[in-house]
Amino acid sequence: MTSIRTDLDPAIATKGYARPEALVSTGWLAERLDDPEVRVLESNEDPTLFDRGHIPGAQQLDWHRDLNDPVVRDYIDRERFQALLRRLGIDETTTVVLYGDKNNWWAAYSFWVFQLFGFENARLLDGGRAKWVAEGRGLATAIAAYEPTAYDAPERRDEAVRAFFSDVLTHTRVRHPLIDVRSPEEYAGTKLHMPDYPQEGALRGGHVPGARNVPWARAAAEDGSFKPAAALRAIYETEAGLRSENDVITYCRIGERSSHTWFVLRYLLGYANVRNYDGSWTEWGNTVRAPIER
């Protein structure tokens, strides 16, 4: 039987989130670094950061090497996810705290992949690596090792949290909400790539018809932590017009930035039906006859 940790973080509880158990503060984690039931995983855009210093006891989770299929554009299957968690010393009873650079950009992506397998004991570290460092908390270079587990992973459940091209196409036809979390320039089609990433463009620029542009980083405060629920509702509901009962799909370029927004909507605001389109613009913008707006 899965043992879900229930000790809510008081620092997170004050921010008014629908599911505050999905986040922990730097103070909460600092007090539990020696807890044998906690595993800390660092997932960065820049994987070299881990070797330069990481939260003591943390292990590296390389989003490209560990979570993606090496040949097919897809995620690892049940057997490889199971082997990964066994190697990291994780099972259903382990509380996994994910953090990283870029305001938890890739940590949120890793959290989303964990949800493809229904792993409910995952948390994000509010503010990620930047907040931990800014507060002067210690970093280590020693690589932690833990006893392997006998974790038994369930089959991947893509339909629960993942959207595909056909789902997005249906959304455009029935006018269900789509949130494009890319930069305004990408959304408008004046840039074919993410700012500062010219090698990662698509053949066509613009956005999925009907999508609303809410850049992912608007959900983060200056210190990288998530804004309180009231501020998030002002962005996604007052400005973008979303409602908690909506069937929402988020997307970006390959699904990493949009996983951050997916987390905000699903866990912080409590939306029951929100999916991340990981094919995102690299699929949509390169697909023959896919409809595009500018």
Residue pair 83/28 in contact by the 8 Å Cβ criterion:
no
How many residues are recorded in the chain? 294
- Give the DSSP H/E element, type plus range, for residue 87: helix 78-87
- DSSP state, residue 45: S
Distance of CA 155 to the CA centre of its chain: 20
The active-site residue, picked from 252, 254, 268, 269, is 252
256-263 and 101-116 helices, crossing angle to 10°:
80
Please list the residues that pair with 39 across neighbouring strands: 96
Q: Is the dihedral of CA 80, 160, 152, 86 positive or negative?
A: positive
Distance of CA 144 to the CA centre of its chain: 24
Residue pair 58/144 in contact by the 8 Å Cβ criterion:
yes
Cβ-count burial of 247 within 10 angstroms (0-12 exposed, 13-18 middle, 19+ buried)? middle
Of the chain, the end-to-end C-alpha distance in Å amounts to 50
Distance of CA 273 to the CA centre of its chain: 16
239 is a catalytic site residue: no
Residue pair 222/151 in contact by the 8 Å Cβ criterion:
no
Nearest Cα to Cα of residue 292 among 217, 186, 197, 194? 186
- DSSP state, residue 99: E
Buried b or exposed e, range 13-44, using 16+ CB within 10 angstroms: eebebeebbbbbbbebbeebbeeeebbbbbbb
Rounded to whole angstroms, how far apart are CA atoms 83 and 100?
22
Task: Name the residues annotated as catalytic.
Answer: 252
